[in-house]
Structure 1
Amino acid sequence: MSLIDRILDLAALPAGALPEPALAMARFSLFDWLVCGRAGIDEPLSGKLRRLAEEEAGNGTASVFGGAPAPARTAALVNGATSHALDYDDTHFGHVGHPSVAIFPAALAVAEEAGASASAVVEAFLVGAEASVRIGMALGAVHYNRGFHQTATAGAFGATIAAGRILGLSRAEMRAAIGLCATRASGLKSQFGTMGKPYNAGIAASNGVECARLAKLGFTSADDGLAGAQGFLPTHSDAPDPDAGWDRPPPGTFFFEDIKYKLHACCHGTHAMIEALLTARRERPDLSLDSVESLHLRTSPRWLAVCDIKAPRTGLEVKFSYNWLAGMVLSGKDTARDDTYSDALAADPDLAAFAGQVTVEGDAAVTDMQAEGFLKLADGTQLPISHDLGRRLPEAELAAGLRNKSRALLGDDGEILWQGLEGLATLSARDLGRYTGA
């Protein structure tokens, strides 16, 4: 069976065939996405995009984080970028992408316009996210390592499928929508550390709405724009493997169940190191910048082109700097609070001095979710450090972590949002839209 046919089968799964464990994680992702979007309302990028939405005007049918309703495609653009502005959203390491910020904005915008239910939004998101992960795995590591941002590329296909599911596209129409997305999807890692990175998420969401709606209008496309001749996979990957990721076919177990949530407001590639250092500090309360002579870190080679900025110039770039973040942890700075990452932090002389004592090495034996290494203490002692983000947290522990994160970002509104979503089965998509803080 071809990849496009497998994806079409996935897109057509009835709601009753979606595995409950994956739906549970999708509901967690909805909460986390809304929290990240609400928390990103005051970011400069978000204001600029709301102004763009206002200037384009149109039929305001879809909610916008912190702004007036806008046309569905524009709302998806604004909401995707806004919810990724803090870089605090979920990550799937199967393809190293952020599903929620690319796919939920498209699903919600189209669902509000269509008068769909909140449950339909979650189901469409889950199917779109699962498809994006599997397409991303087929593209392989070479796609990401070459410089493509999977959130924007594979994510655009997920957004298209989610929006198309809400619109009730036929199999032929969904095929056309995927083909249109193949010629529309884009996004580069060169934008990391700038407003262009969250913009990539917005582009993916907007592309999803556009491609699905054009297909519904009868727009035609290549029969297999995904993996066919000169399609997306062969043009964007040296050796795409259309069979990659299909050892767990749906229905049954979804790869989405392996989704990971950020509890630190920085690049997810740095979180294993942060957790390893926090564990070391808990075990050795005397650890500090003064007591550590150097840090030698081994990480996945993939991350060296993503979050190894040696001399960050802004608070945003600090989020992508192993050297700076290591010093922050050892000096007791709160990496979970977004307001910690100020531009002044990038000029901190103590962190700058310690950054020169940090060595970061790519090691193919270390996975994307692991960190290994050692601290050399001032007395000559070597202290091993390690952490693996791959361990699945029990649902209760995960819920507690996400609620704590929401309170840190939104105060009491975080708990109000959690309680509101407990009645998800009775809510409409327009009800969800009200939680964007518009």
Structure 2
Amino acid sequence: MTQNLGELVASTKAYGIDSSARDAAKRGVIDSIATMMAGRVEHAVALLSRAYKPFTKGDAIEIFECDLVGTDAAALINATAAHVLDFDDVSLKGHPSAVMVPALLALAQERNAKGSELLDAYVVGYQVWGELAQRESDMHHMKGWHPTGIFGSVGAAAACARLLRLDAGAAAHAIGLGATQSAGLMANFGSMAKSFQAGRAAQAGIMAAKLAQQGFTAGADVLNHSQGFLQAFSPFGRVTRSAEIAEVGKEWTIQSQPMSIKKYPTCYYTHRTIDSILALVKDVDVSEEMINCVKVHISSEHATVLCNHQPRTGLEAKFSIEFAAACALLHSRVSLADLTDTVVLNPRMQALMSRVETVHATEYSEQWQGAAKADWVEILLADGRTLETEPVVYAAGHASRPLAREDLNEKFTSCARAGSMEIDSVEILDRLWNLEQENIDSLWSGLCG
């Protein structure tokens, strides 16, 4: 399989990547840059930048202070910034854009590459990521793995190999070198280390492709070996390890399984619950004094990931269904402004969170692994009444309910504002929506001033 994927990476120029695949990738690029800008002011990013900058100088811009550093350092810092708020897009069991876009931006600056080259490399990396993710029948979270850290280094390695135009043999070694750097633990959810795992995956992808370019080698069948990538990370060993891969050229994975764009800066497993509550409170006045209990109906698998039941920080709250429900009820929104330590520690918030409980679903989705057929909420009131939200199957922003272009533009603008980026969002967005014609170094330098 490793060799077959290497051939896929090297042969995509012959297949050609059509405009609809590039357009789908473009949404991931725009959303990732947006969340990167918002995340640049987070303490985790400041610490990472401070630790790395004394040791590396180069041709790529890191987002924290817009300084020039080496490509691997830029990928690490920028991918951490893109993921630290958990506002980045989701697909293929993880967060592909937060890993691949920062890696490709850094490498494209060094190579003076065009936007069309970056988009094609993104599509290829997405293809390899999806090829591996769809082979597992169980949720990696249940074993404690963070899928973004696991698949991200391989997807980023493939994308970077495509941007470097490696031949099939070298591309296969890049994929193998990405696989051997895979890492990420669920126990880090709610801490700085979670976003660091995305940063390391981006950094690993660049390192893997550059090493392979120099002739550094990896195992010939590192992906589907009996002791290789797929088997080692499989929660229960129910993984398909055959060497055959999906045929490309007719439809890319990014076309059949495009990313979902987040509307709220919390774990995606909270979004259906948030949508259901916000729809209710638009029409019904519900104050916290009226509420005895909030019962969130959700799958046990998603409840396991949402492991922080009484969060004390904004980072912890991102993985708390209790916070998501309480915030939606208290503020009729869940926004970047709500994911702060001050808001989380507010006595009203803490009190309402303590009255939220989960009910594990018995009916499961046929399309979404580990998800309930729908998520919904019961609100038990002090006067004896019970309010029920409408069940939500697909959250707003899901690939089947995509954000309109103007909504994605608004998210980009608000993220730039949250990150104190003094840019002309209209001009930058116009360039990003026409990314094929752009020079990445010129675009990125202009955005970062």
User: Equivalent residue for 1:240?
Assistant: 239
User: Equivalent residue for 1:292?
Assistant: 291
Identity %: 27
Alignment of 1:170-209 (within 5 A): 170-209=167-206
- Structure 2 residue 383 is matched with structure 1 residue 384: no
Tell me by how many angstroms 1:47 deviates. Answer: 1.3
Cα distance in 1 for residues equivalent to 2:141 and 2:18 = 29
Q: Is the 8 A contact 1:15 1:123 kept in 2?
A: no
User: Equivalent residue for 2:363?
Assistant: 365
The residue type equivalent to 1:268 in the other structure is Y
Describe the shift of the 1:334–1:171 C-alpha distance in structure 2 as closer, same or farther (beyond 3 A).
same
User: Equivalent residue for 1:30?
Assistant: 29
Q: Deviations over 1:356-404 (max 9, x none)?
A: 2212133353443841342223333333322122664566x42122122
- Structure 2 residue 156 is matched with structure 1 residue 159: yes
Describe the shift of the 1:428–1:220 C-alpha distance in structure 2 as closer, same or farther (beyond 3 A).
same
User: Equivalent residue for 2:212?
Assistant: 215
User: Equivalent residue for 1:72?
Assistant: 71
- Structure 2 residue 316 is matched with structure 1 residue 317: yes
User: Equivalent residue for 1:403?
Assistant: 409
The residue type equivalent to 2:173 in the other structure is A
Alignment of 1:206-355 (within 5 A): 206-237=203-234, 238-242=237-241, 249-256=247-254, 257-284=257-284, 286-332=285-331, 334-336=333-335, 338-355=336-353
Q: Deviations over 1:145-187 (max 9, x none)?
A: 2111111110111100010001111101111111112211111
SS of residue in 2 equivalent to 1:387: coil
Cα distance in 1 for residues equivalent to 2:429 and 2:154 = 29
SS of residue in 2 equivalent to 1:258: coil
Tell me by how many angstroms 1:245 deviates. Answer: 11
Describe the shift of the 1:12–1:372 C-alpha distance in structure 2 as closer, same or farther (beyond 3 A).
farther
Q: Deviations over 1:47-69 (max 9, x none)?
A: 122223321124x1112113311
User: Equivalent residue for 2:441?
Assistant: 430
User: Equivalent residue for 2:420?
Assistant: none
The residue type equivalent to 2:198 in the other structure is A
The residue type equivalent to 1:174 in the other structure is A
User: Equivalent residue for 1:48?
Assistant: 47
Cα distance in 2 for residues equivalent to 1:151 and 1:435 = 29
TM-score, scaled to structure 2: 0.89
Further displaced range: 397-406 or 307-316? 397-406
The residue type equivalent to 1:389 in the other structure is Y
Further displaced range: 318-327 or 362-371? 362-371
Tell me by how many angstroms 1:263 deviates. Answer: 1.1
Cα distance in 2 for residues equivalent to 1:243 and 1:269 = 31
The residue type equivalent to 2:345 in the other structure is A
SS of residue in 1 equivalent to 2:90: coil
The residue type equivalent to 2:105 in the other structure is L
Question: Structure 2: where are the runs of 5+ without partners?
Answer: 366-370, 418-422
SS of residue in 2 equivalent to 1:360: strand
What's the RMSD between the two structures over aligned residues? 2.4
